[in-house]
Structure formats: C-alpha cells, structure tokens
Structure 1
Amino acid sequence: MSRSTRPLLIVVGGTESVYRGYCVEQVAAAYPIALIDSNPPSWQQHLVVDHEVADTHDPEAVIAAGLALAARHSIAGVVTWDEYTLVPTAELAARLNVPGNSSAAMTACRDKATSRRLFDEHNVPSATSTRVDNLTAAETAALRTGFPVVLKPSSHAASIGVVRVDTPDELPSAWEFAAAGAGEQGPEGSGVLVEEYLSGPEISVECVTQHGITTALAVTRKEVAFPPYFEEVGHTVSAGDPLLPEVAPVAVQAVRALGVTTGVQHVEMRLTASGPRIIEVNSRIGGDLIGQLVRLATGLALPRIAADVACGRIPDLTPTAHSTAAIKIVYPPATGTLSARDLAIHPGPESPWLHQVTWLRDVGERVVLPPAGNLDTSRVGFLIITADSAEAAQDSLSRLADALTVSVAP
C-alpha cells in the first residue's frame, strides 16, 4: 500500500476487466483510486493506491471497508458502475459525507416495481405494471393488461429472467423462466412484474446528473435478438443523434421522478407509436462497453465524468469528437462446442475503422445460446468500429458480418 498525498476516490465493485476495465483505467488516469471489491486487485494492481476486500452487495460490509480506507486516507468521493452495488455505495457515500445519491433513490432504481409507481405518480410515460408472486396472480395480471406482456424480475439486470409472452398458453413456461431469474435477484425488490409490452425500437439515453440537474449526453441505439427474450447483441452511438432532442426530456423526467441527484445514468426506453416510453433507469454507466462507444463518438469519457461528479467537481461536458461508434457482440449459430472463430479483417492501417476485436471464447470451449447461456457462455466475442455516420457504421458492420466465421460442433 502507498499513501497518496491527494484525496482518494473509492471505486466499489465493477472491476471485471473485459467490460469494466476501461472504467477503472480512465478514472485512475485522473484520480488516485482505492478499490472495495470481493477479491484483491489483480490486473488493476498497478492502478490502485489501496484496497479492501468485502462483499460489495452487503451495505454494512461496504461501509466497514470504506471506513477502513478513510482511516488511512482522505476520501474525495465514492463511485460505482456495478448495478448490484448501487445501494451499498449510496450508503457509504452518506457515511463518509461525500456527494452521492440517497439509498431510497438507488432502491427506487433497482426495484422496478417502485420505479413504475414513481413514474406513474410523476406522469413519466412508461408501461403498465403489476407485481405478482405466483402464476395465478400472473395470469390475472396478464389478462387485465392484455397480451403480449413481459415478465421480469423486479430487481435484476442484464435481461435476466425477462421474457415476452404472446398468448395465455405460453404463460406457465414463461412464469417458470421469470421466477427462476427472480430467485437470484437483488434484495431491493421481490417477485415478478407483469408488464405491458412496449413495441418499437429500443434505445438508451446516457445522462449525467449533478445537484439534481440532469444533462442528456448521447443516445445509444440497440439491437435486441433471441425473441421472446431480450438479449442485447449490438449498440450504436452517434454524436449529434437527431433523436436526442426528442428523448432527452423524457429521460430527464424519469431520472427526476426516482429522486436521483448525482452521477451517470443509463436510461432505457422504447420508441413507441405514442412516443418514447421508459423501460428503466440504471443509475450507472451502461454495460456492453457503451461508455467506450460514447467516448469514441463524442469524446466524452463517462467514467471520468462519473468520478468528477462523485468528487464534487464540475465535469467538462464539451464534446471533442463527432463520429459514430458501434459494437457487435458475436454469438454462435447454435449451442455446442466452438469449432471455429475467425475474422478475415484485422485492425490496422488497412482497416482504421476497426477499433477493437476481442474474443471471449476459444475453439474447443462449449458455447450456449440464450436463454440457457449467460454472458460468459453465450458470447464468443465482440467487435467495435468507428465511422463518419450511422449509415457508414452499418455498412462496416455488414462487411464484418461477411468476414466473420463462427461455427460449432453439436
């Protein structure tokens, strides 16, 4: 351990290298950081001033770890980009008297039943929703709502346990799937929600809030696959997206309704025939490297912005780039043993638009399609590209699709 002469920023959880490594790196470039995580630092050891090992889902354990760090260092702020540590992080920030959200606001974000109630009370366009605890109640709620409906655990993430149901006959099996997901959800909510299905393209709005004032920074257009499940397989961010003026007020309204006052938010919504309607508000940086896409497209580094806000500093929200960035997540064509994976185009001078190629599974490993597979077993890799426009980005993604080989053996 080395003692910093500057106040530390505590990072709670979210230190997985593939999807969150860039967050740690960008924040460590601006602030001395200490980690509270379930394991000691490994790949990030050279970036860390100090650390404490704790159960990041346990508020008391996180507070004890934070107080231990505060006994050794001056603390400037506390931040997380881990969905499941939002409430413990809020409680630690309050204990250390540094900027942060209230525990109640973070619970409202985590518990989608509470979110829906607050959206309704504040006239935020969202979806009709009923929390249920058994199949009989789910059947009643679905008939009242009208098919198709969506079942989802009240306080999970990453589309775990989320399924669309088109007819009453599909409800029993869908209930088993959603209830299984709910059995592993966080403690902030309980049960399963039966919700109105929102038809239309899915997007997210990436926002920052400081002192209760929210600014919408970018729009992420999503590609969702594997129906009736909601697996996100691609994202595209364009600087100056023409959707931003339309959807920003709805995102700001949703953030305010939940009582969020601080940090970066990933606000998911669908563009329905009646206008934008909120799916949920995630009070952290979006997953699937969306923060990297925002930086490549606009120059805005969401982890640095989140760190500045957590430390009570005014972040610089001036875009320094004007382009498009996209990620394509590679899935196998079927469940089985990965027998080949290759991309005939490589990053370099001949393909400067191909920013990153990352393989997550090796030949010989088993891969499992959703819904049985998870983020570890379903995804073969991902590709990140940059382009001058959204249209050019789609052309580049099509070129990659033609150059991509992924095959499995039964």
Structure 2
Amino acid sequence: MSRSANLPLLIVVGGTDPIYRGYCLEQAAAAYPIALIDAKPPTWQRHLVVDHEVADTHDSEAVVAAGLALAARHPVAGVVTWDEYTLVPTAELVARLGLPGNSVPAMAASRDKATSRRRFTEHGVPSAKSTRVGTLEGAAVAAERTGFPVVLKPSSHAASIGVIRVDTPHELPAAWEFAAAGADEQGPEGSGVLVEEYLWGPEVSVECVTQGGITQALAVTRKEVAFPPYFEEVGHTVSDDDPLLPAVAPVAARAVRALGVTDGIQHVEMRLTPSGPRIIEVNARIGGDLIGKLVRLATGLDLPRIAADVACGKSPDLTRRTNGTAAIKIVYPPATGSLTVRHLETAAPDRPWLHQVTWLRDVGEHVALPPEGNLDSARVGFFIVTADSPESARDRLDSLSAELSLAVAS
C-alpha cells in the first residue's frame, strides 16, 4: 500500500473475538483507518481494516516488529488494545513508536495483581490483604494469617480463571489444585497464586477514561456473580444516573493513579464492603462481556471511540446522549451434558427493548458448568435489554429467562 495515500491510522493489537469484541473494532473503525496486529489474518473483520500484520500478540518482540512493519507503510496516529493479555506488548510498541499511551511498567503492574496490591498499599488505596505463594503449604500459612474465608487466584490471569473462594482449611487442598491449574496458563507478567482476604459486599466495576494522568469515571456496572465458590459473572447492568458513581469514582481514580496508568479506558473492579469501596483489580482496557456496549446503550458514551481518541492524542467526546439502563443476562445450562433444547421466542414485535440475542452453543453440543466448564464451554448465550430503570431492566431479563427453554442430557 502507498504510505502517502493513507491517512494516519490506528493500530489495534489483538482483541478480535467477533462476539465479545467485534463492536469495539467496528466503533473504532467508524472513526479511524484501522491496521490490525493479530495471530491470524483478518476474516470477519477484513472490511474494517486497511492493512494487517500476523504476529503472536502475547510476544512483545513480535508485536513491535509487526508495528514497525505497519509504520513503514503508513503514518500511525496511535495504538490501542482491548485484550488483557496484550497490554504489555502494546505498551512496548507505543514506546517504540513514540506515541501517546501507557508505560510498560504501568501495564505490567496492572497485569500482575501482586504488584497491584503492593502499589495500592503504598498509595493508601483500599484493597485486600494479599500474599503471593507457590505451594499448597505456603497457601495454608497465608490463609491462616489472613483469616478464612480467603480467595485464591492466579496472579496474572483474567476472566475469573482459577479464582475460587475457600471457607475452611479442609477445602484448601482442592481449591489449591484448581487455582494452581489456572496459574499454569497465566500471562508472563506475574507468577504464582495469590491468597487474598475475601471482600464482603456487592461487586461493581467503574468504567473510566484517563488521559494525561487525569481520570474521569464514566459509568458504574452492577454485577451478578454466581456458581460459588467460583466467581462466574452472569449479568451486568449499567444505568446513566447510577447514584453510586460519586461514591466510587474517587476510589477508582486513586487506584488507576497508584498503578501509574496515564491513558486509555480502565475497567476498575471493586466490592462495596461495610467499610466502603475496596478495589479488587484494575484492568487497563474496556471491560469484557459487552460492558462497553451496555455503556453506549445507557449513556451514549462510545468507549471504543474514546479509547481510540486517547490513543491518538485527541480529546475524546464525553457528551452523554442517552439516558436509561442497559443490561445483559448470560445464559448458563442447568447442568453439564449435551444440550438438547435451546429456545427463546425473539420475534415478538412488542419488544423493541430486546436489543440483542446471541447463541454461543447449538443443540447437540457439550456444555459444562464450573469447575469443569470455562467461558467457552459453560455459556449457552446471552441477551441484552434496555429500559428506563434498573428495576424495569431486571423485570425484562426475568421475563425472558422465564420463557427460555434449556435442557441437557447427561
């Protein structure tokens, strides 16, 4: 391609899952020419990109080489990712190209939860007691010192992989096996398993934008977590006028600042404990489970476009254009087995509030609940609704759930 023929483009690193991240690429591509760095050549997204490079997106050297190849063919305005596991390689590329973005140490700190906890403590950010361990024996000592219940989690994973609550010493050996198995597959930024204080209270996330080190909280996501002792997220609700926002925004901003994060979108998870909001972790990218889509439906704020603007050194448009609630219900099977029935009537004309129904598993496929199942094998599908209030959104999700027919055969 001719370099002179192209406008400055935005490089997107990874994050190309069409179901959960397709909207991110589509919304960014509506504003910028896109070049893609991914492990495979573009397929479904081919019409959205002007150029691409194939590279291992978890390998910093490979990403930098791919980015330099793109920069040799095009002027580059910015680099962005919404993939948790490519945050550090993306920061490496940003530094090499001299573009706006986060530093490698800041992204490494956000990826390694042990480093995050240490920085929260150093900066007085309310969080959880945490100890990194490498053996069951070490976990037992840390758990006794922390006090049950505790949470075990891999230090640098995401999507609740390997995360489990432990209520008693008797449960610890089996829980250790589960967490350690997850830790074997975690990213290179961290190591081992964390033994952490269990935080009591509802879980929320705060969706933030940071530019030049100044953080603004944009929305609160109320979460529904199920399948204890695991932490499967099965639903999210975003409202434009959530009264929690003023209370949680300062805590989220302090957590972002403690990690040295200076730019981009952050998904800051916390629990609303009896002593106040306490940080679970800071994810330096757009939240998963289509939370960015919920934010846009509820507030009009376009998180992928905002992320793209910040990456390109532009001031993002933070004008709220809608006022309401959007919610997603993620459908899990009633049991592990072969899916025999999956039906929901979606053609009703009196449901303009039913924004999206997506199936992830077809009849005849195997589905598995935790702990055997993961995000790929456990989820059957999801539906997204809009409403004028959280209560109305919950009612609509409940009505759809009541009409949903699911069955499995062992």
TM-score (norm 1): 0.99
Q: Distance in 2 between matches of 1:92 and 1:372?
A: 37
Q: Deviations over 1:272-314 (max 9, x none)?
A: 0000000000000000000000000000010000000000000
Shift of 1:398: 1.0
Provide the C-alpha distance between the structure 2 equivalents of 1:2 and 1:295, rounded to a whole number of angstroms. 35
Note the 1:102-251 alignment, pairs <5 A: 102-251=103-252
CA RMSD of aligned residues (A): 0.8
For 1:95 and 1:240, the matched residues in 2 are separated by: 41
For 1:296-311, what aligned pairs fall within 5 Å after superposition? 296-311=297-312
Q: Residues 391, 137 of structure 1: CA spacing in aligned structure 2 closer, same or farther, 3 A cutoff? A: same
Match for residue 384 of structure 2? Answer: 384
The equivalent of 1:42 in structure 2 is 43
Q: Which deviations, in whole Å up to 9, do the C-alpha atoms of 1:310-363 show, x marking residues without a partner?
A: 00000010100000000000000000000011113x156310010000011100
Query: Structure 1 residues 342, 103: CA separation in 2 closer, same or farther (over 3 Å shift)?
Result: same
Q: Tell whether the 8 Å contact from 1:41 to 1:51 is kept in structure 2 after alignment.
A: yes
Structure 2 partner of 1:280: 281
**TM-score calculated relative to the size of structure 2:** 0.99
Bigger shift: 1-10 or 331-340? 1-10
Corresponding residue number in structure 1 for 2:407: 407
What secondary structure, in the 3-state scheme, does the structure 1 residue paired with 2:121 have? helix
Q: What is the CA–CA distance in structure 2 between the aligned matches of 1:252 and 1:387, rounded to whole Å?
A: 29
Matched residue pairs, number?
Answer: 409
One-letter identity of the residue aligned with 2:374? N
Any gaps of 5 or more consecutive residues in structure 2?
none
In 2: Cα distance, 1:167 partner to 1:376 partner: 30
In structure 1, the gaps of 5 or more residues are none
Tell me how far apart the structure 2 counterparts of residues 366 and 54 of structure 1 sit (CA, whole Å).
Answer: 32
Distance 2:220 2:406 in 1: 30
Does the 8 Å CA contact 1:153/1:182 hold for their aligned counterparts?
yes
* Conservation of the 8 A alpha-carbon contact between 1:155 and 1:187: yes
Aligned equivalents of 2:93 and 2:193: distance in 1?
Answer: 29
Structure 2 letter corresponding to 1:396: R
Any conservation in 1 of the 2:341–2:406 contact (CA below 8 Å)?
A: yes
Q: CA deviation at 1:165?
A: 0.1
Report the equivalent of 1:350: 350
- In 1: Cα distance, 2:96 partner to 2:62 partner: 13
Contact kept? 1:338, 1:407, Cα under 8 Å: yes
Q: Report % sequence identity.
A: 78
The alpha-carbon distance between structure 1 residues 24 and 2, as it changes in their structure 2 partners (threshold 3 A), is farther
Query: What is aligned with 2:260?
Result: 259
Give the conservation status (yes or no) of the 8 Å contact 2:205–2:220: yes
Assess if the C-alpha contact under 8 Å between 2:119 and 2:259 holds in 1.
Answer: yes
Distance change >3 Å, CA 148–CA 209, structure 1 → 2: same
Q: What does 1:352-371 correspond to in 2, within 5 Å?
A: 352-371=352-371
Give the 3-state SS of the residue equivalent to 1:382 in structure 2.
strand
Q: Is contact 1:347-1:354 (8 Å) kept?
A: no
Report the Cα distance in structure 2 between the residues aligned to 1:47 and 1:281, rounded to whole angstroms.
Answer: 30
The alignment partner of 2:229 has SS state of coil
Q: Residues of 1 paired with 2:60 and 2:332: CA distance? A: 36
Task: Name the counterpart of 1:81.
Answer: 82
Q: Please say if residues 2 and 74 of structure 2, whose CA atoms lie closer than 8 Å, have aligned partners that are also in contact.
A: no
Taking the aligned partners of 2:59 and 2:157, their CA distance within structure 1 comes to: 16
